[in-house]
Structure 1
């Protein structure tokens, strides 16, 4: 335990081409609302493109200011919060997963 509280999370990546399910699992895992935009599956590539453009064309400004003044950030997004039952179910799954790790290590040694 790190004693860090996460109030909300914005997620992106290819897994979010599948709607809702990975987002709901993530919300249960972190017990926090997770927001995913309609373009979330392209987030990594988009971020790299922004950094490349910033390094090429921005002068005498911070990245934050450049994005605020240059990039349209209007997009549709969906925020999901896990139910208490989903959080409990995920914690139960994680316990079983962790308890199974020694078995996986033993199988690797055996084969």
Structure 2
């Protein structure tokens, strides 16, 4: 299941890579990150970039959109990264997982196989 979710993100990262966009660090949150280190490690491997998880990790989408609304209302010329560092995550305990080369290679293999299977899936749909 995690490969499917993170595989989709990794596929998106390939598109960004092709456009020359690099990811310095992903800050992850949501219920899946309540258990320290597990999903974080696999996400780092899927993205090929460090993944930070704070002590607010259990908060999900509603919390995230509230943070963005607060940013829009109070940022006054401050970029989002600075706003998050100074106002949202200031004083929070943050753990950063670096991508494991074995996990990165595993996701690359998964994505290659996934992409190869898309033609099979398209043929099956056409045959229906």
In the other structure, the counterpart of 1:35 is 52
1:104 aligns to what? Answer: 121
Unaligned segments of structure 2, at least 5 residues? 1-17
Per-residue CA deviation, residues 24-69 of structure 1 (Å, 9 max, x unaligned), is: 22211221111011222314322333425974xx5xx617498746
Give the corresponding residue for 2:76.
62
Q: Which residue matches 2:97?
A: 80
Aligned residue for 1:22?
39
Distance 1:53 1:88 in 2: 37
Unaligned runs of 5+ in 1: none
2:68 maps to 1:48? no
Q: Answer whether contact 2:26 2:52 (CA < 8 A) is retained.
A: yes
TM-score, normalised with respect to structure 2 = 0.63
Q: CA RMSD in A?
A: 3.0
| SS in structure 1 of the partner of residue 24 of structure 2 | coil
TM-score between the two structures when normalised by the length of structure 1: 0.70
SS at match of 1:42: coil
- The number of residues matched between the two structures is 106
Cα distance per residue 1:89-110 (max 9 Å; x no partner)? 1111110011111112222233
Relative to structure 1, the CA distance from residue 39 to residue 94 in structure 2 (aligned partners, 3 Å threshold; closer, same or farther) is same
